[in-house]
Amino acid sequence: MESEQVFKAVADHHRRHLLDSLAQADGQTLTQLCASMPMSRIGVMKHLNILEQAGLITTRKVGREKLHFLNPAPLHNVDAWLTGYRRLWNERMDRLEDLINRTQASEQPKEQNDAET
């Protein structure tokens, strides 16, 4: 299943870091990508390979350099899967928070009155 491969690819924080890095500056070389990774070149290549197999990055050879490009398309399914539920949950919690604040606000004057009497 394709989306499973995508899930596995983004489940690792080093690979998410690589995607973030490409989201900020697309078309980086292996050397550039290695600069911010706490591991060997071979380790970074291994992670890039997994991302490429999941379709999350594409590569292009320009002269002797291999450039890496972010391809967010496979994330769309994953995004759609979670967004609706997350939105619903967040709204529910927003409303609950509002209600609790209102309830607390209306209870406070009463407590003050009780304390005074």
Query: What are the two backbone dihedrals, phi and then psi, of residue 54, each rounded to the nearest 5 degrees?
Result: -80, -5
Residue numbers at the binding site for another protein (CB under 8 A) = 4, 7-8, 10-11, 13, 16, 19-20, 23, 72, 75-76, 78-93, 95-101, 103-104
Q: Compute the least distance from the CB of residue 43 to another protein, in Å.
A: 20
C-alpha separations of 81 from 25, 50, 75, 78, 87 in Å: 27, 22, 10, 5, 11
Q: Compute the least distance from the CB of residue 77 to another protein, in Å.
A: 10
Q: Compute the least distance from the CB of residue 36 to another protein, in Å.
A: 15
Rank residues 31 and 36 by Cβ distance to another protein and give the closer one: 36
Rank residues 43 and 84 by Cβ distance to another protein and give the closer one: 84
Contact 44, 33 (CB under 8 A): yes
CA atoms of 20 and 26, how far apart (whole Å)? 10
Q: Compute the least distance from the CB of residue 116 to another protein, in Å.
A: 22
Please give the structure tokens belonging to residue 29: 């070389």
